[in-house]
Amino acid sequence: MLSNANSKNSVNGSYVYTFACHENERALCELELTTMLVPDIVIHSGERAYIRSHVCIPPGRSPFVRGRLDVMAEADTVADLKPAASQINLSTGETFKVVCLKEGDHMPDYAHSRQLEKELGMCIKGKALMKQPDVTFGLIHADGKWILGQWIEADRSWHTHHQKPQNYSTGLGVTLARALVNIAVPQVEGHQLLDPCCGMGTVVIEALSMGIEAIGNDLNPLAVQGARTNLPHYGYDPARITLGDMNDLEGFYDAAILDMPYNLCSVLPDEEQLGMLNSLKKLAGRAVIVSTERVEGNILDAGWNIDQYRTVSKGTFIRHIWLCT
């Protein structure tokens, strides 16, 4: 760990997150990041994508974030960062390296990047180690400034959730489910999430893996059986999944994610859609509603306000997503 003395040279509470997403996921990605990070500036999208914020989250929460740069100093030139680099205090025996991030504005080519890394690394007191150092420092050019900070790579251990024991092809994918959880519950601490039509439990698993209290319910006994198989596979209590009609659920939750049931051969009747949305309004104060159909009318009729609307497509298959309060 870095010495506390480094805090004297830090830009207090400032972070730069880098991210990447497929073009079909860009609208969802930007909604997730702006919901969680409440950025001080606009999102810089495209090939060199980054976002700056005063909100600190584990970079592994988002399926799109590559890492977080904890800003220590910023200056007009890299040379102007050298005094700050020379003041970095590593613990005894701690190793480090400096990396020039690929994201950013007008970043240098490979050879120039390696030269900048070497120049700053020479200023840091300690042992440089290119493979598996104790601490990594990142360098990025963003918003007209060169920024130096501690670089935290995103934890990707949640990728194992793609290989659940039970699954079905039309269910929510892990990446989508994880993003929806972050949109529904931007702040982890003290918030409870309900998934009233949980299917195989993907949303519940993603929420629990981020430390969010979550439970699921489903009307389909086979889905409940599958979810109760999947949860303990990742160390979670299968009792978090209940069998029943969501219209019979009781209690009140901070947020809910409702993936409206659908069938490739039939359409859920309007009255059933409205009934579910009415029940949802009694169960949660905030909801992310997902449907393969446009159901804005029923959402509004149920008393919800639509704050945001996005779509996610995979080929010709489109999911409509509403953030409601």
> Mean per-residue pLDDT for 262-270?
69
Q: Is the pLDDT of residue 8 over 50?
A: no
Triad 126, 127, 128: Cα angle to 5°: 115
Query: Residue 99's closest CA among 135, 64, 74, 63?
Result: 135
| CATH number assigned to the domain comprising residue 50 | 3.30.2130.30
Domain co-membership, 162 together with 111: no
Domain co-membership, 12 together with 97: yes
The last residue of one of the domains, among 106, 122, 153, is: 153
Domain co-membership, 301 together with 234: yes
Q: Is the pLDDT of residue 253 over 80?
A: yes
147 contacts 16 by C-beta, under 8 angstroms = yes
Domain co-membership, 147 together with 161: no
Domain co-membership, 95 together with 222: no
> Mean per-residue pLDDT for 187-214?
96
Domain co-membership, 126 together with 203: no
Nearest-angstrom CA–CA distance, 146 and 54: 18
> Which range marks the domain in which residue 113 is found?
4-153
The last residue of one of the domains, among 127, 153, 179, is: 153
Q: Tell me: the pLDDT tens digits for 126-166?
A: 999 999 999 999 999 998 999 999 999 999 999 999 999 99
| CATH number assigned to the domain comprising residue 298 | 3.40.50.150
Domain co-membership, 68 together with 111: yes
The last residue of one of the domains, among 153, 180, 197, is: 153
Domain co-membership, 242 together with 185: yes
**Tally of structural domains, the chain:** 2
> Mean per-residue pLDDT for 305-318?
92
0.75 exceeded by pTM: yes
Q: Tell me: the pLDDT tens digits for 15-44?
A: 999 999 988 999 999 999 999 999 876 788
Domain co-membership, 48 together with 15: yes
Per-residue confidence (pLDDT) for residue 170, from 0 to 100: 76
Domain co-membership, 171 together with 318: yes
Domain co-membership, 134 together with 167: no
Domain co-membership, 148 together with 200: no
Quote the crossing angle between the two packed helices 202-209 and 174-184, to the nearest 10°.
60
* 13 HSE (CA, 13 A, CB side): 5
Averaged pLDDT of the chain: 92
